[in-house]
Amino acid sequence: MEVLTAYPERLPSHRVLYIGPDHAPYPVEHVRFHQGVALLKFANCNDRTTAETLRGYFVHVPLEEAVPLEEGEYYLFQVIGVEVFSEGGELLGQVVDVLESPAHDIYVVRGTRGEFLVPAVEEFVRELDLVARRMVVAVMPGLLE
């Protein structure tokens, strides 16, 4: 699997990983790393055909087993689905993806005006309330065009 976590060294410590949209549990028998990817062996997944059914899905760990965060930090998956509003209160859409870049993350927002990108910096993101699932952004000239 492609490793997206910032803490790949923790992967072998998980006894169960959760896969797919229904987060089905898969007991882990073995993990090793090879050429930048993780090779996983799950219990009851003993042939290539069975393994192929898992292709394309994200692999999750329970939140209580994730690396603890500092105050004000959040996991990227928590931003997906957050509703995005302008400072004037207009619903602009929802965050559908988070792009990671060396400088800062970029939120991909999709709504009735199409898709646009919001840099995850204070200049643009004025408020992010994960409990209320709401983000308020400053709409700079050209942002929605």
- For the chain, the distance separating the N- and C-terminal CA atoms, rounded to the nearest angstrom, is 37
Torsion from C-alpha of 116, 144, 137, 87, nearest 10 degrees: -150
In the block, which residue shows the tokens 């090793």?
A: 32
CATH homologous superfamily, domain 76-137: PRC-barrel domain (2.30.30.240)
Split at pLDDT 50, 70, 90, the class of 96 is very high
Residue 111, number of CB atoms within 10 A of its CB: 16
Q: What is the pTM of this model?
A: 0.72
3-state class of 120 per DSSP?
Answer: coil
Q: How confident is the model at residue 142 (pLDDT cuts 50, 70, 90)?
A: confident
Spatial CA neighbour of 74 closest among 91, 98, 58, 96? 98
Give the tens place of pLDDT for each residue, 38-63.
Answer: 999 999 899 999 999 999 998 988 88
**Residues 6 or more apart from 40 whose CB is under 8 A from it?**
1, 17, 28, 30, 31, 59
Beta bridge pairs of residue 37 = 2, 34
Q: How far apart are CA 134 and CA 92, in angstroms?
A: 11
Q: Domain map of the chain by residue range?
A: 8-65, 76-137
Backbone angles phi, psi at 46, to 5 degrees: -105, 0
pLDDT at 109: 96
pLDDT band at 93 (very low <50, low <70, confident <90, very high): very high
Pairing state of beta strands 16-19 and 24-34? antiparallel
